[in-house]
Amino acid sequence: MTIIRKTCQLSLAVAAAVTLTACTHIQPDPLSSPELLAQAQADRARVAADVPPVSGALTLDEALARALKYNLDRRARMLEEALAFRQLDVSSYDMLPKLLAQVGYTSRDNDNIRQSRNAEDGSLSQSRFISQERSHTLSSLGASWSLLDLGVGYYNTRQQADRVLIAAEKRRRAMHLLMQDVRTAFWRAVSAQKLQADVRATIAMAEAALADSRTEEAERLRNPIDSLRYQRQVLENLRLLEAIDQELSTAQTELASLINAPLGQRLTLVEPELAVGREALAVPLEVMEETAMAANADLREQHYNARIAREETRKTLVRLFPNLTFNYGAHYDTDSYLVNSSWNEAGVQLSWNLFNLFTGPAQMELAKAGVTLADQRRVAVQMAALTQVHLARQQLSNALHQFDRADAIWAVDSRIAQHMDNRADSQTMSPLDRVANQTTAILSLLRRYQALAQAQGAEARLQASLGVEPEIGSVGDLALADLTRVLADGEGVWTRLNAAKPVAP
């Protein structure tokens, strides 16, 4: 028996040593290139899953609908909101009693023998008693309910419910920024679609004029100074045209990324009717301020944060109270020496951490400081939201003015271009003049589209600062065609705000 016992002890020691050695020799395991490539391919397939391809011409409403349904960042925000809902479901279980089931097995290599000592003379009894089997199994099923855990769990659940609302506000803010980016990128892509062919044709014309001038300079057909000045002007026009071409070349990629379309696909865009948000300036400023106070996503988030801070003070106060715990359990033991092998047990326990008498005031002051900080942040965000409304409205007014000016300049340049084309047909205009005229016309139209994109972006920023969005319901429940139709047929936010009346203070 002694040999067996020593063998078991040695085996346990060896197993423990091997386990500790294995735990202390874990090495970094970097991913290999094939693994990274395989994961990248799987991710790309996941990105393209359930996304219908872009077929035919793409309208602005469809681009917005695709961004709302398939944009990757928006999907992440929606998953964050869904995760917050799941956390709320889990936190609500913290208020329930704890139900614990246990099964244990105990074994020893010798008997649990006890002796008794005489209380009068201190002598040991000659009789020895075995009061426990060498191997036995103990199982139990018990319930425990703590009033302190109930109170803390209740306020934790209320705080988690507010965090769900905060996740919804973050999703709204992300949606506002996404719609703003899509509008700006769409108009940039429209300008690229309309101008890129003319830009490259004019670049080819300028390159030909530059080559002819260099040939004339080499053959000394003109004064060298005049040839160099001519080339200098052509090169300046080329530099400007190439800068325009580089700016237009990225517009399609940016739009495709926002709507989760294949990056290499060539998108054909439908230029929408001219709409530059003049209705927004007709909304009274008081109505805008009241709307922002009630609907601005950042401000609503701070309201919920302040409410969470107040719940924290109540939770801190609950922790300072004594804890009352109720216990009830059913037990069963296979030990044959027990007279009653199964029994039920109930108990009530009252406990109180006496250090709360000293730390309680400090904890309450800390919680109150959190409330003060949350209130101050809410006030700061409120003033920032009002400032943002005023700035966004002024920026929209300035953008509309710049668009009107760019539109007027483009109208004049287009008329000049018509006259120059007539002169080019009659062979009375030099190649340099044609290049300069085409460059000026292209630049004028580009600036018009840029001003239009800035006006669209300013209008979207104003909507984001107000916290208003189209009434589209649940994006996940609508098909792409239905969502596009809702965006196209929905009543404008400015129409709703114009119908609203400011509330008297």
CATH code for position 212:
1.20.1600.10
Residue 425 lies in a domain: yes
pLDDT at 328 over 70: yes
Rounded to 5°, the CA angle 262-265-270 comes to 110
Lowest mean pLDDT among 125-129, 166-170, 191-195: 125-129
293, 299 Cβ separation under 8 angstroms = yes
φ/ψ region of 467 (left if φ > 0, alpha if ψ in -120 to 50, else beta) reads left
- Please report, rounded to a whole number, the percentage of residues in the chain having pLDDT higher than 70: 89
Residue 161 lies in a domain: yes
500: phi then psi, degrees, rounded to nearest 5: -80, 155
pLDDT at 150 over 60: yes
Q: How many CB atoms within 10 Å of residue 334?
A: 14
pLDDT in tens, 191-221: 888 887 777 888 787 788 778 777 777 777 6
Task: Tell me the range of 11-25, 313-327, 424-438 where mean pLDDT is highest.
Answer: 313-327
Domain that holds residue 79: 55-102+147-321+355-468
Residue 97 lies in a domain: yes
Average pLDDT over every residue of 87-100: 81
pLDDT in tens, 38-68: 887 887 777 677 778 888 888 888 888 888 8
**HEC assignment per residue over 20-34:** HHHHCCCCCCCCCHH
17, 25 Cβ separation under 8 angstroms = no
Average pLDDT over the chain reads: 82
Give which of 293, 100, 130, 270 is closest to 187, Cα–Cα.
270
Total structural domains within the chain? 1
pLDDT in tens, 362-411: 989 999 999 999 999 999 999 999 999 999 999 999 999 998 998 898 88
Q: Report the pLDDT value the prediction gives residue 7, as an integer from 0 to 100.
A: 58
Lowest mean pLDDT among 131-140, 266-275, 349-358, 392-401: 266-275
Q: What is the DSSP letter of 117?
A: E
Average pLDDT over every residue of 165-193: 87
179, 468 Cβ separation under 8 angstroms = no
Give the H or E element holding residue 426.
Answer: none
Residue 333 lies in a domain: no
Q: Report the pLDDT value the prediction gives residue 228, as an integer from 0 to 100.
A: 78
Q: How many CB atoms within 10 Å of residue 247?
A: 16
Distance CA 263, CA 138 (A): 65
Distance CA 243, CA 199 (A): 10
Q: Report the pLDDT value the prediction gives residue 277, as an integer from 0 to 100.
A: 65
Task: Tell me the range of 159-173, 216-230, 268-282 where mean pLDDT is highest.
Answer: 159-173
Decide: helix, strand or coil at residue 139.
Answer: strand
pLDDT band at 473 (very low <50, low <70, confident <90, very high): low
Average pLDDT over every residue of 162-176: 89
Helix, strand, coil shares of the chain as percentages rounded to 5? 70, 10, 20
Q: Report the pLDDT value the prediction gives residue 386, as an integer from 0 to 100.
A: 93
Question: Is pLDDT larger for residue 265 or for residue 367?
Answer: 367
Residue 23 lies in a domain: no
Torsion of CA 326, 330, 334, 338, to 10 degrees: 70
pLDDT in tens, 279-326: 888 888 898 999 999 889 999 999 999 999 999 999 999 988 899 999
164, 84 Cβ separation under 8 angstroms = yes
Q: Report the pLDDT value the prediction gives residue 376, as an integer from 0 to 100.
A: 94
Residue 173 lies in a domain: yes
344: phi then psi, degrees, rounded to nearest 5: -110, 145
Place of tokens 């809902």: 85
Q: Report the pLDDT value the prediction gives residue 330, as an integer from 0 to 100.
A: 94
Average pLDDT over every residue of 170-177: 87
Distance CA 193, CA 188 (A): 9
Average pLDDT over every residue of 415-438: 69
pLDDT at 31 over 70: yes
Residue 121 lies in a domain: no
Residue 344 lies in a domain: no
Q: What pTM did the predictor assign?
A: 0.78
Q: How many CB atoms within 10 Å of residue 491?
A: 10
